[in-house]
Amino acid sequence: MSGDMSGDVTTDASTDASTDASTDASTDAPGSAAAPGDAGAPVPSIVVDGVSKRFTLRHARSIREMTIRALRRQRLSETFDALDGVSLTLHRGETVALMGLNGSGKSTLLKLMSGVMSPDAGSVRVRGRIAGLIDVGAGLHPDLTGRENVYLNAAILGMSEAETRRKFDAIVEFSGVERFLDNEVRFYSSGMFMRLAFSIAAHTEPDIFLIDEVLAVGDPPFREKCLERIRELRGEGRTMVIVAHDIPMLTRLCDRGVTLRQGRIVFDGDPAEAGRLWLEDRRARQTADRPGKS
């Protein structure tokens, strides 16, 4: 096995080197580097290399608004660097938390990984099937029944018909909406809606799993069930990238934490330390906001 992997080891070493270099340059705390849990050389599963992403915020869309703004000599648009020269290599089997304040670039990074957006500079490469628990409700259509939605949403997340059929019962059981399966989703409570959506996504079994803010969903028992499912998927050697705002939960769940600050990686390593940095940022912002408001 190790003999076969030699090819991957060399590519890994080269990508790691570039990551370490950029991390060192921008890190104030020394990163303890990625610590893949399993023995053997780590296989890179997501390689983000020097990625930048800039958004243009348009203040005026219609001609009327544009004229008004132009007459007042206000700017029509502003640019905003969501990500600025980010390099990061995630290995197979790692569970990584992306931490940072709102607007620090976490979700943008996740979107670049999923392919929904493409970077302005640099490259993102991924290995294997990728699925996202990114605002899971997006694929559900309110006018279709729960059953139809399971098939549709599973297909959107990349599952074949046979695969969906095989996992159908598991999905339904996990979501706990058996009784309402043939009702249209628009009659579901918001909790049921999210449970069904999460359940479908959690059964897609991708190689890379991107999870954005969905763990805040549902009542505590279901939340616990979700975490249980995520641990289960993690145990199967999948790569996970999680964005959430619950630091204790992330610290327990992840074996690596990456803290972002204004589109740059400022820390990469122990999740507890990454969480501490993030808390610092949050306090700093709160103290900065307070005098401004009063």
Partner 1 sequence: MSAVSPGDLPPLVTPGANGGLGRVLADRYLLRLLVRRELKARYKGSLLGLGWSYVRPAVHFAVYFFVVGIFLGMDQRVEHFPVYLFSGMVLVNLFTETLHSCTRSVTGNGPLVKKVFLPRELFPAASLLVSLVHFLPGFAIMLAGALAYGWRPDPAGLGAAVLGFAIIVVLGFGLGLLCAGVNVFFRDLEQVVDILMIVITWSVPMIYPWTQVRERAPSWVLDAYLANPLVSAVSLFQRAFWAPGTRGGFAFPPQMYGRAGAALAVAVLVFMIGSLTFSRAQRRFAQEL
Residues forming the site for partner 1 (CB under 8 A): 1, 4-5, 8, 11, 37-38, 43-44, 47, 55, 92-93, 111-118, 123-130, 132, 134-135, 138-139, 141, 143-144, 148, 151-152, 155-157, 160-161, 184, 207, 236-237
Q: How far is the CB of 274 from partner 1 (least distance, A)?
A: 24
The residue among 89 and 104 lying less far from partner 1, judged by its C-beta, is 89
Q: How far is the CB of 129 from partner 1 (least distance, A)?
A: 8
The residue among 207 and 246 lying less far from partner 1, judged by its C-beta, is 207
As a whole number of angstroms, the distance between CA 119 and CA 161 comes to 32
Strand 77-91, strand 44-58: pairing: antiparallel
Q: How far is the CB of 66 from partner 1 (least distance, A)?
A: 13
Q: Which residues on neighbouring strands pair with residue 77, listed in sequence order? A: 58
Q: How far is the CB of 279 from partner 1 (least distance, A)?
A: 29
Q: In the sheet where 239-243 sits, what is the strand order? A: 130-134, 208-212, 239-243, 95-99, 256-261, 264-269
The residue among 9 and 272 lying less far from partner 1, judged by its C-beta, is 9
191: CB partners within 8 A, 6+ apart: 217, 218, 219, 222
Beta carbons of 82 and 32 less than 8 angstroms apart: no
Both tokens assigned to 219: 């009542």
What number of other Cβ atoms are within 10 A of residue 36's Cβ?
A: 17
Q: How far is the CB of 207 from partner 1 (least distance, A)?
A: 7
Reported as type and span, the H/E element at residue 78 is strand 77-91
The residue among 112 and 277 lying less far from partner 1, judged by its C-beta, is 112
